[in-house]
Structure 1
């Protein structure tokens, strides 16, 4: 072998040993590439994935060394912990794939990714790095509502209820043509007023809200409002295999239960009968009649007195409107009669006691009749009373006879 050829062989051997080939293990022997939902340049153009949809990351590892790699693993801060799966061993001069599958969250998530593998015989660890990630996008529609019921007026007919619907975009993309409806109240299309746009919010930016209101007249009862909102962010995203996914219709709902009270009935004014005294003077007229002891003739006004606070106290007014003095009990009434104010309509007055009936005929008795009657009552009054009753009339008679003889 010539000297020049020997130098060339030694130089090539040195170069191969320095690069890790020819049985060597060195830097650059492990290579890494990452695709996210089918896109390989996710470090520059992260794919847009709808929030809540699946993100699939594929990590391609190539071992160009002549040693097997053990405890192969991928460290990716953009993937949930424990979501990356890798083979335990990556043989020399072969490739393998690690995968991660998880739900997308809102925001941009592009991070450096690190792959590692150990060579236990040489106590060496090979590494490789790359950048990859995705952007979680979506408009998120929210809806709340509030109901205010007006106080019912008199006369019946229910009351009005004002419902306020609050639509909110909680996502990171604008929402377009957000429509508000309420099938629970059977509103007409476009009934809620959303700023003069007929039940529709044209554009709702991220982290903003809009208000829609409607007022309905309802009969008394219990009602349930069922608000519904719908709209779209018009964003096309990527699926797990890189396919294009059109924007879905976003919806949100809310409900509220409320009660419409019965309206109070307006009082009906009482009209007095023809010829009857006014309500304010009936008590005074009845009191004046009771104080004078007069009994109204049948059929005359005030024959049956109305009961009020003045009648209960036995007071009234005279013809001049002055308070009349209360009448003494029994004044101006015939024996055994019952005052008209104490007789209810249709009731039969009680009969006078027997003692009053007996006293009514006293004025028609003569002297002998009175003596006989006193004798009959002797058993009731006793001997002393009987003697007193007999002696007093006899003394009066003797006096009268003596005065005539003179």
Structure 2
């Protein structure tokens, strides 16, 4: 064997030992088929899966080449990222399965799926494609409510409350026989008016709403409305293994707290007694009585008459009068309107003669009422009287002493 041939054989052996045999590799050597919830023709008839239920996709890969595939992977835009699991290596002339499991979302999701595997010795990549997907379906029932309480009327008895229930189909399938009730208000069956259907909406199309109303009479207090809605989309879907799943009963709820106020009590009109004056009018004789009382208050009994009192000036300190000579009298000091020693009228019973005040009291009252000039004159008179008395005492005392001495000598 020549040296050149030997080198070629050794080189071929090294290549075969390092990377494995890579014969029979080309387009079409990798095949792909997909089943979705047990259905193989999901590209033509995507299975209906209820929104929120599980979707299981199975990707069957068949390697008909004569080389092992490395870094096997499936790219599916209809599956959440990272949800597909595949084996790392797919041996030659064998098959493997990749799987994905996730929750269904509303809408039709049919997309091309691509499977790939690498042949490192040939620096090539085998691929395969298929179409697969599912349809997420469901009627989604929603409910809201609003309460309007009427203003209470007079006379008591509470007030009326109007409750409006709004049912909405947020799904992509029609809803049938949607019933509305309110156990919180203990409504009778069929009490809410849903357009003349007796508490029931016959068909509610996707993305539409219907209104039901009821009016109840309630006593004052706090109440909680608890609306309930139920219906069905009547859709049969497929489970993860291809089994048929019947449509469930769809429900929704809402609540509202409201207060019914106490109604104001109507005022009762008062009927005046026969002969009684109307409201706000003075009673008969009241003006005359007031005038008589005013005149009586200012009248001065005649001197010596029974029950005669000193006149009390209710405007003392502001009024003026005249003295005996007809000259204007000085204004009286505050609180000096009553005569000295006078007894207040409130302390004397009608017809009784008030007792005469003691002399000392009369003098003290006179002193309090004499004014500043009167006090000066009185003090002058008292000083003069005091001087005369002192002179007499100075004269009488020596005379008495002299008489006493003369008498003692005669003895």
Pair 292,81 (structure 1): closer, same or farther in 2 beyond 3 Å:
same
Give the deviation of 1:403 after TM superposition: 59
Pair 278,73 (structure 1): closer, same or farther in 2 beyond 3 Å:
farther
| Residues 22 and 67 in structure 2, CA contact (< 8 A), matched pair in contact too | no
Measure, in 2, the Cα distance between the counterparts of 1:319 and 1:200.
Answer: 108
| Residues 371 and 390 in structure 1, CA contact (< 8 A), matched pair in contact too | no
Give the deviation of 1:272 after TM superposition: 3.9
Residue deviations 1:29-75 (CA, integer Å, cap 9, x gap): 00000000000000000000000000000000000011110100000
Give the secondary structure class of the aligned counterpart of 1:286.
helix
Measure, in 1, the Cα distance between the counterparts of 2:210 and 2:98.
Answer: 46
Measure, in 1, the Cα distance between the counterparts of 2:179 and 2:361.
Answer: 94
Residue deviations 1:187-236 (CA, integer Å, cap 9, x gap): 11111000011100000000000000001111111111111000000000
How many residues end up aligned between the 2 structures? 406
**Which structure 2 residue ranges, 5 or more long, are not aligned?**
276-280
| Residues 287 and 310 in structure 1, CA contact (< 8 A), matched pair in contact too | no
Measure, in 1, the Cα distance between the counterparts of 2:186 and 2:311.
Answer: 54
Moved more, 301-310 or 251-260: 301-310
Higher Rg: 2
Give the secondary structure class of the aligned counterpart of 1:152.
coil
Measure, in 2, the Cα distance between the counterparts of 1:364 and 1:382.
Answer: 26
| Residues 20 and 65 in structure 1, CA contact (< 8 A), matched pair in contact too | no
Give the secondary structure class of the aligned counterpart of 2:404.
helix
| Residues 317 and 323 in structure 1, CA contact (< 8 A), matched pair in contact too | yes
Pair 376,87 (structure 1): closer, same or farther in 2 beyond 3 Å:
farther
Give the deviation of 1:121 after TM superposition: 1.0
Give the deviation of 1:15 after TM superposition: 24
Measure, in 1, the Cα distance between the counterparts of 2:326 and 2:187.
Answer: 64
| Residues 307 and 352 in structure 2, CA contact (< 8 A), matched pair in contact too | no
Measure, in 1, the Cα distance between the counterparts of 2:199 and 2:81.
Answer: 45
Give the deviation of 1:381 after TM superposition: 18
Alignment partner, residue 159 of structure 1: 159
Give the deviation of 1:289 after TM superposition: 8.4
Give the secondary structure class of the aligned counterpart of 1:381.
helix
| Residues 21 and 65 in structure 1, CA contact (< 8 A), matched pair in contact too | no
Give the secondary structure class of the aligned counterpart of 1:14.
helix
Give the secondary structure class of the aligned counterpart of 1:395.
helix
Alignment partner, residue 309 of structure 2: 304
Give the secondary structure class of the aligned counterpart of 1:55.
strand
Give the deviation of 1:341 after TM superposition: 14
Give the deviation of 1:8 after TM superposition: 29
Residue deviations 1:380-402 (CA, integer Å, cap 9, x gap): 99999999999999999999999
| Residues 313 and 338 in structure 2, CA contact (< 8 A), matched pair in contact too | no
Residue deviations 1:356-384 (CA, integer Å, cap 9, x gap): 99999999999999999999999999999
| Residues 42 and 134 in structure 1, CA contact (< 8 A), matched pair in contact too | yes
Measure, in 1, the Cα distance between the counterparts of 2:387 and 2:334.
Answer: 32
Residue deviations 1:262-320 (CA, integer Å, cap 9, x gap): 11111122344565977999999899989999999999999999999999999999999
| Residues 288 and 317 in structure 1, CA contact (< 8 A), matched pair in contact too | no
Pair 139,284 (structure 1): closer, same or farther in 2 beyond 3 Å:
farther
Measure, in 1, the Cα distance between the counterparts of 2:294 and 2:25.
Answer: 133
TM-score (norm 1): 0.67
Pair 245,375 (structure 1): closer, same or farther in 2 beyond 3 Å:
same
Give the secondary structure class of the aligned counterpart of 1:310.
coil
Pair 5,254 (structure 1): closer, same or farther in 2 beyond 3 Å:
same
Moved more, 64-73 or 314-323: 314-323
TM-score (norm 2): 0.66
Measure, in 1, the Cα distance between the counterparts of 2:243 and 2:184.
Answer: 39
| Residues 110 and 134 in structure 2, CA contact (< 8 A), matched pair in contact too | yes
Measure, in 1, the Cα distance between the counterparts of 2:109 and 2:232.
Answer: 24
